[in-house]
């Protein structure tokens, strides 16, 4: 089946993305090698931690141009989705610029707690190859403190204090703010769809 | 709406889930992967896997079973037990754990919290706090897994949770020791005091014995999650029934 490169930039939690793809029968490899990533049929950009650290790792590894030049399906997960945008308020850093907009700090006044951690519902699910089989009201597992803006590129919206983009798409580039690899059936559905696009 | 989390805690020894605290006479309840998947199927929102041999024997978690669980499981899980360095925590996370929980080692060396938060991000760092009421105030205890070693840590709980948050903890699990194992309900008063002090997620632990204890802790202490062990293992509470009852009571849960 499909060969997927999971970009390894030195952030934790890449193993769980790899395992989720393997559960679906995909041949997935962790890689920070530009040639290997460019040659993969599909690419996943996972990530937890801080945007500034992740972007400096992407540049150090010489992957900035590689990722931007990908024509095959690319899926950013969690921080990986945020890195797809123009810039992030977290560390005031320029990101990959594949999706227009700026990632901002979550506005979650008391009694809400930050990070937004746990299972939240997907709302306003737009039609897309990646959202096939997903329904508004399905739960997904989120862990984040910064949010991507709701724009024309938003596929799925969620709300925590404010509405934000839970899934995005522009051309060959998709993003999930939640962790599909930890979102049980709904997450597996999205990854399965990604392996088919 | 963000759902309140129901979190079973499994004591793991050599890849098996065991009943009771450490030392002799463990009863093996089942294989850790099988039990993790069973709780997943029943609707657990997250699991805590506590490596009881790691802390008792002064070694760190065995990452092979962490990897086995990460391979099989599609809900988040946190690993606790024996994590004493940033390097160990990162290894654990790289094996597929979503979070690591530190308790006594954080009291021995509070900088550990800062180190983990810097290396892996606050969202991966859970600080577990064992707290006991004494003369109307609450005090942190350490080495609570071992009756011979347990002692007061010389810190007020309400000071320690704020310090842990300031140092970069992304979540606090407050284990109320007076309630632990008694199954008479969570310590609402103490949880509420802590909840009012910190703006990061708080998970209640210690005292769950009946469905209404969960309802009460979510309604009155506004915690993000509720952790329990024996009531789930002994099948006193069945998670699907619990979640339906919580939903009926108007509490947001993932069904």
pLDDT-based confidence at B84, cuts 50/70/90? confident
Bridge partners, B75 (sequence order): none
pLDDT for B23 equals 46
* Lowest-confidence pick of A77-86, A165-174, B26-35, B58-67: B58-67
A116·B95 Cβ contact <8 A: no
CB-closest option in B45, B98, B123 to A115: B123
pLDDT for B14 equals 79
Backbone phi, psi, residue B217, to 5°: -70, -35
Q: Are B56 and B78 in contact (CB under 8 A)?
A: no
Q: How many whole angstroms separate alpha carbon B210 and alpha carbon A181?
A: 32
Dihedral of alpha carbons B183, B188, B189, B194, sign: positive
Known catalytic residue at A179: yes
pLDDT-based confidence at B16, cuts 50/70/90? confident
- What is the distance of C-alpha B17 from the center of its chain? 15
B96·A141 Cβ contact <8 A: no
pLDDT-based confidence at A12, cuts 50/70/90? low
CB-closest option in A11, A20, A120 to B74: A20
Instruction: Give the CA angle between residues A195, A79, B48 to the nearest 5°.
Output: 90
Average pLDDT for A146-173: 97
Backbone phi, psi, residue A187, to 5°: -65, -40
A117·B224 Cβ contact <8 A: yes
Task: Show residues of chain A in contact with B76, CB under 8 Å.
Answer: 141, 143, 179, 182
Q: How many whole angstroms separate alpha carbon B245 and alpha carbon B248?
A: 5
Task: Show residues of chain A in contact with B45, CB under 8 Å.
Answer: 118-119
Report CA-CA distances (Å) from B167 to A65, A114, A115, A148: 36, 15, 15, 26
pLDDT-based confidence at B96, cuts 50/70/90? very high
Percent of chain A scored above 90 by pLDDT?
88
More confident residue, B83 or B39: B39
Task: Show residues of chain A in contact with B200, CB under 8 Å.
Answer: 113-115
- Nearest to B124, CA basis, from B132, B135, B113: B113
Average pLDDT for B219-228: 98
Note the pLDDT tens digit of each residue in B149-183: 788 888 999 999 999 999 999 999 999 988 777 78
Give which of B33, B74, B227 to mutate to test A binding, by max A Cβ within 10 Å.
Answer: B74
Does A1 score more than 50 pLDDT? no
More confident residue, B83 or B55: B83
Known catalytic residue at B222: no
Question: Tokens in use for B56?
Answer: 């008792």
Residue/partner pairs of B12-21 with CB below 8 Å, 24 or more apart: B12/B49, B12/B50, B12/B51, B12/B52, B12/B65, B13/B51, B13/B52, B13/B53, B14/B53, B14/B62, B14/B65, B15/B62, B15/B64, B15/B65, B15/B68, B17/B233, B18/B52, B19/B233, B21/B52, B21/B145, B21/B147
Give which of A82, A113, A166, A190 to mutate to test B binding, by max B Cβ within 10 Å.
Answer: A113
Note the pLDDT tens digit of each residue in A105-141: 999 998 999 999 999 999 988 999 999 999 999 999 9
Does B188 score more than 90 pLDDT? yes
More confident residue, B230 or B36: B36
B74·A183 Cβ contact <8 A: yes
pLDDT for A11 equals 67
Note the pLDDT tens digit of each residue in A172-184: 999 999 999 999 9
B254 CA: distance to closest CA in chain A (Å): 7
| From B62, B130, B180, B187, the catalytic residue | B130
pLDDT-based confidence at B56, cuts 50/70/90? low
Task: Show residues of chain B in contact with A26, CB under 8 Å.
Answer: none
Question: What mean pLDDT, rounded, does chain A reach?
Answer: 94
A30 CA: distance to closest CA in chain B (Å): 12
Q: Are B190 and B138 in contact (CB under 8 A)?
A: yes
Cβ-based neighbour number of residue B90 at 10 Å: 20
pLDDT for B22 equals 40
Question: What mean pLDDT, rounded, does chain B reach?
Answer: 90
Average pLDDT for B37-57: 86
pLDDT for A60 equals 95
pLDDT for B119 equals 83
Average pLDDT for A46-67: 91
A120·B1 Cβ contact <8 A: yes
A11 CA: distance to closest CA in chain B (Å): 7
Cβ neighbours for A109, distance < 8 A, ≥ 6 positions apart: A161
Does A80 score more than 60 pLDDT? yes
More confident residue, B94 or A11: B94
């Amino acid at each position: 089946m499909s060969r997927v490169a999971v970009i390894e930039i030195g952030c934790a939690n890449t193993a769980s993305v790899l395992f989720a793809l393997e559960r679906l029968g995909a041949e997935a490899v962790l890689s920070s090698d530009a040639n290997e990533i460019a040659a993969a049929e599909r690419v996943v950009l996972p990530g937890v931690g801080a945007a500034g650290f992740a972007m400096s790792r992407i540049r150090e590894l010489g992957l900035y141009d590689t990722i931007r030049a990908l024509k095959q399906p690319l899926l950013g997960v969690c921080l990986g989705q945020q890195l797809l945008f123009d810039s992030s308020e977290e560390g005031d850093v320029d990101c990959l610029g594949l999706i227009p907009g700026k990632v901002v700090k979550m506005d979650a006044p008391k009694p809400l707690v930050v990070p937004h951690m746990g299972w939240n519902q997907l709302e306003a699910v737009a039609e897309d190859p990646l959202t096939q089989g997903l329904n508004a009201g399905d739960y997904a597992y989120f862990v984040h403190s910064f949010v991507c803006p709701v724009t024309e590129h938003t596929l799925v919206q969620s709300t925590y204090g404010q509405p934000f983009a839970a899934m995005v798409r522009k051309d060959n580039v998709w993003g999930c703010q939640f962790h599909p690899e930890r979102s049980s059936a709904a997450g597996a559905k999205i990854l399965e769809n990604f392996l088919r696009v | 709406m963000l759902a309140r989390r129901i979190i079973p805690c499994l004591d793991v020894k050599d890849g098996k889930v065991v009943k009771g605290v450490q030392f002799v006479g463990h009863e093996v309840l089942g294989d850790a992967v099988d039990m993790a998947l069973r709780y997943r199927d029943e609707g657990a929102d997250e699991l805590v896997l506590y490596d009881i041999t790691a802390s008792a024997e002064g070694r760190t978690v065995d990452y092979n079973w962490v990897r086995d669980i990460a391979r099989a499981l599609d809900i988040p899980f946190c690993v606790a037990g024996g994590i004493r360095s940033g390097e160990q925590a990162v290894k654990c996370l790289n094996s597929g754990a979503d979070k690591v929980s530190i308790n006594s080692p954080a009291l021995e060396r509070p900088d550990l919290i800062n180190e983990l938060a810097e290396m892996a991000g606050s969202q991966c760092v859970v600080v577990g706090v064992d707290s006991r009421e004494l003369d109307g105030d609450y005090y942190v205890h350490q080495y609570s897994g071992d009756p011979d070693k347990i002692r007061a840590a010389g810190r007020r709980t309400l000071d320690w949770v704020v310090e842990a948050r300031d140092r970069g903890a992304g979540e606090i699990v407050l284990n109320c020791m007076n309630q632990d194992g008694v199954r008479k309900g969570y310590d609402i008063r103490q949880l509420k005091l802590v909840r009012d002090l910190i703006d990061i997620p708080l998970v209640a632990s210690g005292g769950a014995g009946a469905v209404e204890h969960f309802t009460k802790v979510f309604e009155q202490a506004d915690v993000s999650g509720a952790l329990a062990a024996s009531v789930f293992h002994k099948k006193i509470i069945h998670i699907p029934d619990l979640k339906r009852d919580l939903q009926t009571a108007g509490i947001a849960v993932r069904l």
